[in-house]
Amino acid sequence: GNRTFTMIKPDAFEAGHSGDIIKMIEEAGFRIVAGKVTQLSAELAGKFYEVHQERPFYGELCEFMSSGPIIAMILEKDNAVEDFRTLIGATNPAEAAEGTIRKRFAKSLGENAVHGSDSDENATIEGNFFFTQFDEV
Ligand code: ATP
């Protein structure tokens, strides 16, 4: 697939890292095809992360993801999902490789700066959660 979905999470947005993160994304060869600044309600965060509802961190995750503004974006590039997961680095910033977005900007396992879809199927589902075809270029 040639598209993925990302969010700049509330920690990174609040800290003023959105510009630097978008710069890293563009320099890695991704094109932004849709984007918006928005804030999730706890209910919508719960719906977005529904697959994690049995996990012990689900409540904390939904609370955090609705705690402030985020930037949602659809990104285009060959091999988008896999290449974007490489660019963001491991979920836990302590394990994230040098040069990754999470190595530079993530604060903790929970507050880890960015989201990246984990499959082509989820990239489509997640993109459609935030955008309609009229929002995409
Ligand atoms: P994302 O889906 O945000 O790209 P991921 O695929 O790297 O992250 P998942 O295992 O799908 O990681 O977890 C989703 C999100 O839940 C993580 O990005 C992180 O913010 C949060 N999370 C995961 N594990 C924990 C944990 N043990 N404690 C708190 N939050 C966690």
CATH number reported for the structural domain that contains residue 109 in this entry: 3.30.70.141
Q: What are phi and psi of 84, to 5 degrees?
A: -75, -40
Residues 12-23: b if buried by 16+ CB within 10 A, e if exposed:
bbeeebbeebbe
Q: In the chain, which stretches have pLDDT less than 50?
A: none
Number of domains in the chain: 1
| Span from the CA of 115 to the centroid of ligand 1 (angstroms) | 8
The structure tokens listed for 116 are: 């990246």
pLDDT at 43: 98
Q: Name residue 18's amino acid.
A: S
**What per-residue confidence (pLDDT) applies to 19?**
98
CB of residue 3 inside a 6 A radius of ligand 1: no
pLDDT at position 1: 84
Q: Which domain holds residue 93?
A: 3-135
Return left, alpha or beta for 73; rule: phi > 0 is left, psi -120 to 50 is alpha, else beta. beta
Confidence (pTM): 0.97
**Token pair of 105 as six digits:** 């900007």
**Whole-angstrom distance, CA of residue 123 vs CA of residue 77:** 13
C-alpha 26 – ligand 1 centre gap (Å): 24
Ligand 1 pocket check for 110: Cβ under 6 Å: yes
